[in-house]
Chain A
Amino acid sequence: MYAYTGKILHVDMTTQAKRVQQVEPEFYKLYLGGVGLASRLAYDNVTPGADPLGPDNALCFACSAFAGTTVPVGTKHGVASKSPLTGFIGDSLSGSHWSEMMRRAGWDGLVFKGQSPHWVIVFIDDDDVRFLDATPYMGMGAVEVQGKLRDRLGDENIRISAIGPAGENLVRFASIDNDGRQVGRTGNGAVMGSKRIKAIAVRGTKPVRVADRQGLMEKSLPLIKTTQGPGTLKYRTLGTPANVLNMNAIGVLPTRNFSETVFEHAETISGEYLRDHFRVKAVSCSGCSIACEQWGVVRDGKYKGAKIGLDYEPLFAVGSNCGIGTLPPIIKLVEMADELGMDAMSAGVVISWAMECYEKGLLTKEDTGGLELNFGNDDAAVAVMEMMAHREGLGDMLAEGVKRASEKLGKGSEHFAMHSKGMELPGYDVRSLKTFAMGLAVGTRGPCHNRSLAYELDIKGVFDRFTAEPGRGPLVVENENFACVLDCLVLCKFLRNCFDDFNTEVAELYTMTTGIELTPEELAEVGDRVCNLKKAFNIREGWTRADDSLPPRAMQDPIPSGPAKGSFVSQEELDLLIDDYYQARGWTEEGMIPRAKLIELGLGDIADEIGEDAVVADAAV
């Protein structure tokens, strides 16, 4: 086996004991790497029923197949644990240079279990693992601490994954930052904080050897050139903020806590406006020939000096969704979220919920500590962002995420708590995207636009986005499986339009890199396998069909105005969509995985481990 070493490092944070697990090539054929590998490690190492913020949870990192090679746009890494937001699988991805560095240190995966008695920095120096006292670094920002640690360790080649104050304070949607990119969703930063790991520093000095170096480089060059073409134009020029005006035009841009879908200030928070007034340059992750991250800098006014690589999802969350209609406070808020170490998407949706509560009188000035928390009040949003990370005042309740916060507050605020399974919704109002509604409701890690790309089917008009009818399941499943294959390799989704025959071309790249024989069919099957693996994780944690849901607002409040006026997802429609999806997956009506299905997918050990009764309702195959 090439590129991969077959070695997984296990660290027990309670005792600081380490153990090396040797993994066979067959394992990589089943899970590829990234999210697949991380999810399997989580399945095998998270104690069933574990408290997500307790010692029995396991925080698992996995590198990508192509990290450190010339195959472009393939450098992300996967992270998985039991999510403190959802109580189900929390798998996440991040870019930058971490994946390459893990690989060069000789580790395909890292598993952290237990709970350190005091705060530490874990320093993985090739084969060596050391624990440094984290006291001098406590309270530091997630980005700031990386520079400080590099200085102390005296080597700028060291790469670091770190948490900010939010992770230290167990904010349930805390993120892990690596070189300014984040393991953002599902709260892996809180899991890291619960283990009292402030940062993981890695220095890898080993070369990356691939099976066919010459062949791989010959295949890489045309792919690098293709990534400068039309298939990635959007990402290279405007980046994902291009979505703002597109989503606004068709009436799906979440506005003021998902109450409206057209934002009157969309123009001044758009990707075009960002490019014309704030953009400095585009920046890429290691080995990425696209460079999607559009860095914007605020040059004057009260947010002068704020700068960030801005993406659509954080932009919508703290922008239109909080009623904030100019870019400087948005750039500031996202920069704060990154430095404080919180998922800006969840943070924005939590703030917008609190704003609606305030406007409805469910939260008062007393509750907010004197803040006038109306929609559009950026000063208040900035204050709340800080309060959440430090769990001060109202921030303590908000740090629990919108599901728990609304359950605590009550007073009908659950109606507009915009989450599914406990994770806050992404930036597409599903009331008029009914195929995507299916994809979001069934998401194993909660509602996610990166796991289900079904919004494309709605927006491109493959299906009528205003209606729900049976028969969409197979395409939604196919599309989710494809996204999953990308997440396992890892190849960034922005590369997805750069192939003529994806499975054939990528299977070949995988073999040239790892030396593991992989047919195009075997590559494609990984998607179905890993989606089922993640579902099995959830079933083991007590998942039932009732968990596949949408928030009441999406199902009861018709869109008030704009191109999608009047649209909502009724319970009948959602039931129909979910039935359709389960059927396409080959699951039972209750959404359980038949034993035979698991065996067919090569997950026989899981079927055996969990036992027929737990996983399989009445094997409906």
Chain B
Amino acid sequence: MALLEKVDKNIEARAWQGEIPIQSRYTCGLAGEKFFREIMENGRFAGTHCAECEYTYVPPTIYCERCFAKLDEWVEVGPEGTVQSFTVLLVAPDGTPLEEPDILALIQLDGADSVLVHRLGKVGLDELAIGMRVKAVFKPKKEREGSILDIVHFVPVNA
């Protein structure tokens, strides 16, 4: 068995091109509702705390992934935090080069144990450092719509 013949001329290598149209709604859940409402209405970060594990989740979850307890203790964290890592991204979602570098970071908000993934702004590439202190900049209140993009970016605390 096995293949006795193969397509051996490039122009005879036929292919059909297709695409998959997919549209979805992703509900934010109980914890997500509260997280985004706090941002929209008060420009504040809400997290959930597991007293057993001494761990604060931001974004919040209604259960602790460490001990599996149900979480209902809400705490306010941030809006300042510490950069745990950063990267300067130079490619667009489709893989083509970006015109302007995009700085992304892991930000551990004060009081949180988890990190938020977001952009850094108003910072020079030579100023970037793991451990730098940053704070959240929110969109003007009337423009907020309950999305992670209600946070414009994080900027250095002393900016």
The answer to whether A and B assemble together is no
Q: What residues of chain B have their CB less than 8 Å away from a CB belonging to chain A?
A: none
